[in-house]
C-alpha cells in the first residue's frame, strides 16, 4: 500500500497531478481543496495517499491533510459512494463543512454537491454520524449554543447570500448562549467589517 508520496510536482491537470518520486512519476487524483493549495510545478510536495484497487484499475488519491484522507476513507465505506463520488464531495465541501453538515443533519448542504441526490445525502448523514473527525465548524455549536440555534443562524446567513465559509467564520465569533435573532445581528455586524 502506498501511504505517502514526497517528491517534485511535475504536472497539475485537475483533478490529477503527477509527482516525481526519485524518477518515477505517480499520477494522483486529488480533491479541489487539495489542488488549490498545491505549490507551483517544479516545487517539492508531500501528499498523504489512499491506494484503491478496482477490477479494472489501480488508482492513487492524494490529500494534503490527514483529516481529508480520513474523511475520504469514511466516505468510501458508505454504500453507493465510490472513490470518485468521495473525491467530488471533498471537492465541493471542506472537511469542516462536511463534519458540520453531518453533525447538524443538514441534507440540503450535501444535495448541493453535483451527483449527490436526496437519498444519497440521507444515507451519508445516517452512516457517517459519529464517524467523521469533528473539529472546526462542529466546535461552533459546542460553545454553549444549541445546535438548532447555530444552524438557524447559519441558514439565515446563507439565505442572505453569504457563502458557507463566510457564514461559519462569523458564527465562530458569536458568544456562547446567544439567541438566534441576536446571533444573526452579531454575525451580520461581523460580516460587514470584512
* Domain boundaries of the chain, sorted by first residue: 4-63, 66-128, 143-193
**Residue with cell string 507551483:** 40
pLDDT tens digits, 46-72: 999 999 998 999 999 999 999 999 999
- 17-26, 96-105, 158-167: which is most confident: 17-26
Residue 125 pLDDT exceeds 60:
yes
pLDDT score of 21: 96
Residue 147 pLDDT exceeds 80:
no
pLDDT score of 166: 79
pLDDT score of 148: 65
Q: If you classify domain 66-128 with CATH, what class do you get? A: mainly alpha
Domain 143-193 fold is: Helicase, Ruva Protein; domain 3 (1.10.8)
pTM above 0.75, yes or no: no
pLDDT score of 60: 96
How many angstroms separate the CA atoms of 166 and 133, rounded? 22
Domain 4-63 fold is: OB fold (Dihydrolipoamide Acetyltransferase, E2P) (2.40.50)
pLDDT score of 194: 65
Confidence label for 138 from pLDDT (cuts 50, 70 and 90):
very low
Residue 104 pLDDT exceeds 50:
yes
Amino acid at each position: 500500500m502506498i501511504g505517502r508520496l514526497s517528491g517534485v510536482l511535475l504536472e497539475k491537470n485537475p483533478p490529477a497531478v503527477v509527482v516525481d518520486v526519485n524518477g518515477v512519476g505517480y499520477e494522483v487524483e486529488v480533491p479541489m481543496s487539495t489542488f488549490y493549495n498545491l505549490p507551483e510545478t517544479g516545487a517539492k510536495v508531500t501528499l498523504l495517499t489512499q491506494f484503491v484497487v478496482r477490477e479494472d484499475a489501480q488508482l492513487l488519491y492524494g490529500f494534503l491533510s490527514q483529516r481529508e484522507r480520513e474523511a475520504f476513507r469514511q466516505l468510501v465505506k458508505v454504500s453507493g459512494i465510490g472513490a470518485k463520488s468521495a473525491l467530488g464531495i471533498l471537492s465541493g465541501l471542506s472537511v469542516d463543512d462536511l463534519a458540520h453538515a453531518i453533525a447538524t443533519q443538514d441534507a440540503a448542504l450535501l444535495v448541493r454537491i453535483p451527483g449527490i441526490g436526496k437519498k444519497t445525502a440521507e444515507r451519508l448523514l445516517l452512516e457517517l454520524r459519529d464517524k467523521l473527525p469533528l473539529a472546526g465548524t462542529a466546535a461552533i455549536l459546542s460553545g454553549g449554543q444549541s445546535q438548532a440555534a447555530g444552524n438557524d443562524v447559519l441558514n439565515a446567513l446563507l439565505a442572505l447570500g453569504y457563502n458557507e465559509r463566510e457564514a461559519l467564520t462569523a458564527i465562530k465569533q458569536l458568544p456562547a448562549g446567544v439567541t438566534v435573532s441576536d446571533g444573526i445581528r452579531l454575525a451580520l455586524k461581523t460580516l460587514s467589517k470584512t
